Amino acid sequence: MDSTIALFLVQDGLINGAIYALLAVCFVLLFAVTRIIFIPQGDFVAFAGLTLAALEMGVAPGSALLLVCLGVACALFDLAGLRNWPPAGWLLRRLGAYLALPLVLWLGVRDLAPMDLPVWADICLTLVIVVPMGPFTYRLAFEPMRNASILALLITSVGVHLVMMGLGLLFFGAEGYRSTPIWGGTILLGPMMIQGQSALLMVCTLVILGLLWCFFTRTLAGKALQAAAVSARGAELVGISVETAGRRAFVLAGLIAAIAGILIAPITTLYYDSGFLIGLKGFVAAIVAGFASFPGAVFSAIVLGIIEAFAAFWASAFKEVIVFGLVLPILLWRSLTNPHDEEH
Amino acid sequence: MNRLQTMSVALIALTPLAAQAEVTICASLSVTGPAASLGIPEQQTLAFLPEEAGGQAIRYVVLDDATDPTKANTNARKCVEDEKADILLGSSTAPTSASVAAVAGETGTPVIALAPVTVDAAVEPWVYRSVQKNALMASALIEHMQKTGVTRLGFVGFADAYGEDWLKTVTPMLEAAGIKLVAVERFARTDTSVTGQVLKLVASAPDAVLVAGSGTPSALPAVGLRERGFAGQIYQTHGSATTEYIRVGGPSVEGSILPVGPVVVAPQLPVSHPSRGIGVEYYTAYVAQYGEGSVSAFGGMMFDAGQLAAAAIAAAEGTPGTPEYRMALRDALEGLTDVVSVNGVYNLSADDHYGHDQRSRVLVQVTDGAFKYLALD
């Protein structure tokens, strides 16, 4: 192995690590605010990539119809939970979000998709289709069990992942898709050749992480989210709605997952079930960071990506074994160095 | 009252039919589940199979096993017990075919599998296959490598049974041909990056690379190799011979070479190829019904199975529905010679229940986003 190969492997590791980092941040965020270990996170990445690829091919993506189904289910849940007639404004807002938005999207996308739209329009459409899936899923699966234990929430989350995968097969089919690069050029950096799309991916990841940092430290909404994460009861005492915080966290997670999907769709072939393994790597990075620290999660995600790249080079047959095997000693070390209660 | 009348009319109408001897062929196919992309064209081919052979009408029954070996087993039993099947067909994958074959051996019913299934010696007399062995497919690739002067080959295959079997098949063949295997790498269907493997392959300076994967995932290494500036020949296996592979791979898979059953490029075959006539007939009829680019090797396998069954029915004597007749069909299958079908010419014998020769595979090259027939000589 010479230095050029090492540089290429590091580059590959950084690209994969960047995606894992985005997902790891989502895992940490959702766990902190809602105590949910959100396994379907990766599925949203795949859905976003597949939606973008479908739009590029001029086909109405199945995810638009999926969103309609989720929306109808959410609306039914809301109506069934009513004890007395709600204020008209509340009803209008809810039905607007759960029924009108997905329906308009679905009908609109069927007319818009064959029209050979510019890339940015495809990306915007993908975002508005995939992002609401986050809060919709939260409303459907997790809001009704707000006070459940972490374990019960985790089991539900695995269930949601299985349902999502089945729906993905139904709406996208078994074949893989790849979208065209948003930026097709290459950058020459000494002996390194960096694909434009890869560079774009890394820049976007950095920007998103930077924006997240600003959001949490500089804005009221971000500080409220953080407060809800630190102590739910404390936050409620000072007038922060934990329910709203949960929803906002899921919007954020949906947004990040959708952007990650849009960014990797041109780099790899995505399948309806590709998301799980990507999500799992992000999950591992979040675990290594103790599900608590954002910088820790980002750092371990990038290290994980680089380890993976080198493992693929040295022993491709054992790539996943090496990646997941290395997590064990780290977990052991973590549990020995900072012991804490099972339930908190 | 009305319904009763209709029923009695139907019953009267049925009586002469039931008296007339009718051969039953019962298929268990993976029309749903992970192997649906194989099972669907197989099921759709049913409409093009012979309706009678040797003066006897053939009745077809198709059951879906959802790519589940347990379901395939149940289906095979249903075929034999409820439908009184004389010949079994299927299934689409090796594990499901093994289930069907087990029932076939147990009940003494001949079966034509559509997957390269390996069974016990006791069951083997009853099991025939209308699918090419990997070794036959590999021989076409190796012939091409020798002809174009490839001496160093890189291998990147699925980290599963498919990749493993290909590696095991080609390793001795390459050795015999004097081609050196310079790198052996693995990747998974769900991998999002194969950069590590590609770098290792390129670093070992091969003349050509063989990608042993099935479906669209096998496009990923090809794309990676071209991105890293690899200019040598890329070979794929017949598992990738779908239009989806070209769609996903785009310009990176231009020029890649695959071994396929002749039916995939039937209209492009040379006039001298024995499968051309019947192949074009099936190809045109299938395309007319299911659209351009719909013909796959899998539908062809089903068509072949139908031809083999018809040839055996024409040769066998006896009353359908009896064990003696099934025995006669088995003997007839084993003795079939020169059965021309869309995937080559079959010559079955007690030692060879595949019956293919080199006429059962051709090479194709991806040219301008489509598979083009590539003459080997």
A299 and B CB contact within 8 Å: no
Most confident range (mean pLDDT) of A75-84, A89-98, A270-279, B172-181 is B172-181
- The pLDDT assigned to B3 comes to 52
User: Domain-by-domain residue ranges, chain A?
Assistant: 3-337
- Chain B contact set for A195 (CB, 8 A): 227
Residue B6 in this model has a pLDDT that exceeds 60: no
- The pLDDT assigned to B18 comes to 43
User: What's the whole-number mean pLDDT along residues B264-293?
Assistant: 92
- The pLDDT assigned to A1 comes to 67
CATH number of this structure's domain B21-132+296-358: 3.40.50.2300
Q: How confident is the model at residue B9 (pLDDT cuts 50, 70, 90)?
A: very low
- Contact between residue A285 and residue A297 where contact means Cβ atoms under 8 Å apart: yes
User: B150-161 burial, b for 16+ CB within 10 Å, e for fewer?
Assistant: bebbbbbbbbee
Closest Cα to residue B316, out of B290, B298, B335, B303? B335
Q: Where does residue B337 rank: exposed (0-12), middle (13-18), buried (19+ CB within 10 A)?
A: exposed
Q: What would the pLDDT profile of A308-343 be if each residue is shown by its tens digit?
A: 999 999 988 888 898 888 888 888 888 888 766 544
- Contact between residue A60 and residue A44 where contact means Cβ atoms under 8 Å apart: no
Strand-pairing partners, residue B89, are: B27, B112
B175 and A CB contact within 8 Å: no
Dihedral, A106, A107, A109, A111 alpha carbons, nearest 10: 160
Q: What distance in Å separates residue B148's CA from the closest CA in chain A? A: 29
- Contact between residue B235 and residue B217 where contact means Cβ atoms under 8 Å apart: no
A122 and B CB contact within 8 Å: no
Residue B11 in this model has a pLDDT that exceeds 50: no
User: What's the whole-number mean pLDDT along residues B129-153?
Assistant: 93
Q: What would the pLDDT profile of B174-227 be if each residue is shown by its tens digit?
A: 999 999 999 999 998 888 889 999 999 999 999 999 999 888 889 999 999 998
CB contacts < 8 A, A to B, total: 87
- Contact between residue A45 and residue A22 where contact means Cβ atoms under 8 Å apart: no
The minimal CB distance from A277 to the residues B37, B190, B219 is found for: B190
Q: What would the pLDDT profile of B323-336 be if each residue is shown by its tens digit?
A: 999 999 999 999 99
The beta strands (E) that lie in B152-263 are given as 152-158, 180-187, 208-212, 233-236, 257-260
Residue B2 in this model has a pLDDT that exceeds 80: no
Residue B5 in this model has a pLDDT that exceeds 60: no
The two structure tokens encoding residue B47? 């409409």
Q: What distance in Å separates residue B159's CA from the closest CA in chain A? A: 6
Could you give the CA distance from residue A24 to residue A18 in angstroms, rounded to a whole number? 10
> Do the Cβ atoms of B217 and A5 come within 8 Å?
no
Residue B10 in this model has a pLDDT that exceeds 80: no
The minimal CB distance from B196 to the residues A12, A15, A320 is found for: A12
All residues at 6 or more sequence positions from A41 whose CB lies less than 8 Å from its CB, including other chains? A23, A26, A27, A30, A253, A257, A275, A279, A282, A283
Concatenating the DSSP letter of every residue in B350-371 gives SS-SS---GGG-EEEEEETTEE
> Do the Cβ atoms of A320 and B200 come within 8 Å?
no
* Stretch among A72-86, B52-66, B74-88 having the lowest mean pLDDT: A72-86
Q: Side chain identity at B186, as an amino acid letter?
A: R
> Do the Cβ atoms of B196 and A274 come within 8 Å?
no
- The pLDDT assigned to A341 comes to 52
| DSSP code at position A270 | B
- Contact between residue B105 and residue B123 where contact means Cβ atoms under 8 Å apart: yes
The minimal CB distance from B199 to the residues A9, A264, A268 is found for: A9
Could you give the CA distance from residue B278 to residue B358 in angstroms, rounded to a whole number? 18
Taking each helix axis from N to C terminus, what angle separates B69-81 and B94-107, rounded to the nearest 10 degrees? 30
- Contact between residue A136 and residue A21 where contact means Cβ atoms under 8 Å apart: no
Look-up of token digits 């019960």: A152
Q: Side chain identity at A113, as an amino acid letter?
A: A
User: Domain-by-domain residue ranges, chain B?
Assistant: 21-132+296-358, 134-260
Question: How many CB atoms are located within 10 Å of the residue B140 CB?
Answer: 23
Q: Side chain identity at A176, as an amino acid letter?
A: G
The minimal CB distance from B217 to the residues A269, A308, A314 is found for: A269
All residues at 6 or more sequence positions from B130 whose CB lies less than 8 Å from its CB, including other chains? B112, B113, B114, B301, B302, B304, B305, B308, B341, B343, B346
Could you give the CA distance from residue A270 to residue B191 in angstroms, rounded to a whole number? 9
Look-up of token digits 């990749």: B163
* Stretch among A249-253, B11-15, B170-174 having the lowest mean pLDDT: B11-15
> Do the Cβ atoms of A9 and B196 come within 8 Å?
yes
Sign of CA dihedral B347, B351, B356, B358: negative
The vertex-A297 CA angle with A291 and A299, nearest 5°, equals 155
Q: What would the pLDDT profile of A203-233 be if each residue is shown by its tens digit?
A: 999 999 999 999 988 999 889 888 888 888 8
Residue B16 in this model has a pLDDT that exceeds 50: no
Could you give the CA distance from residue A59 to residue A249 in angstroms, rounded to a whole number? 31
Could you give the CA distance from residue B214 to residue B135 in angstroms, rounded to a whole number? 16
- The pLDDT assigned to B13 comes to 46
User: What's the whole-number mean pLDDT along residues B69-96?
Assistant: 93
- The pLDDT assigned to B26 comes to 95
Taking each helix axis from N to C terminus, what angle separates A242-264 and A119-130, rounded to the nearest 10 degrees? 140
Q: What CATH class has B134-260?
A: alpha beta
Q: What is the 3-state secondary structure (H, E, C) of A110-176?
A: HHHHHHCCCHHHHHHHHHHHHCCHHHHHHHHHHHHHCCCCHHHHHHHHHHHHHHHHHHHHHHHCCCC
Tell me the backbone φ, ψ of residue B89, rounded to 5 degrees: -125, 145
> Do the Cβ atoms of A264 and B216 come within 8 Å?
no
- The pLDDT assigned to A133 comes to 94
